[in-house]
Amino acid sequence: MIENTHPHGAGDVVHTGAALAEADKAIILLHGRGARALDIIRLSDRLAPNDATIAFLAPQAVNNTWYPMSGFLPQEQLAPWLESALTVIDTLIDQATDAGVPANKIILGGFSQGAMLSLEYTSRGRRQIGGVIAFSGTLIGPVDQPHAALADVSGLPIFLGGGTNDSWLPAGALEKTASLFKDAKANLDFRIYEGMDHIINEDEIEAARALIARV
């Protein structure tokens, strides 16, 4: 039994780019399982090179994982890890808005487990955000069971990309997630890459850059 109901509560946050009080936009990047905040924050140089108006924030998960089991299990089996991770996102969004960054200029994104958290967070509508970048991730929960109804994401810019040879994402998981966000009227850019494994390619980076520029 895990006594700490907020295991990620004391985690560090890596911050690059503009100070929040001076930023026009904030991008929250969530690392994958087994990775670190220092790994995902390196994407800032590729997503918005030399842009001094964007604050990048990357929280660190305890033991380098947001939840230490499959994200395709029933969500109640991921507690308290999942709720703790979602609370970390709440806190960072609140910090950004408190510092003066408009909610519609906050972008949430990540890779793998971080992408799944980004999409799940968005589906719940816990805070207003301006966009989502999901590299190789899906909604959380069993692929063969219905997901809870999505919050209002109408018009929300979302990039979702993944590969056909991804050994971590079950067949159909990306398509199911894309279908749910399309049905909810999100402004979805969904790209499947033939033969790609569990990586981020240059086309995805370009798509993410375009989304950041639009938001």
- What are the structural domains, with CATH classification, of the chain? 13-214 (3.40.50.1820)
Edge-to-edge strand list for the sheet holding 25-30: 13-17, 54-59, 25-30, 106-111, 131-135, 157-163, 187-193
Amino acid (1-letter code) at residue 180: L
Instruction: Using a pLDDT cut of 90, give the percent of the chain over it.
Output: 88
Confidence (pLDDT) at 118: 98
Q: Provide the whole-model pTM.
A: 0.95
Q: CA-to-CA distance for 75 and 81, rounded, in angstroms? A: 10
The residue-averaged pLDDT of 18-26 equals: 97
pLDDT in tens, 106-154: 999 999 999 999 999 999 999 999 999 999 999 999 999 999 999 999 9
**DSSP string covering 129-183, please?**
-SEEEEES---SS-TTSPPPPP---TT-EEEEEEETT-SSS-TTHHHHHHHHHHH
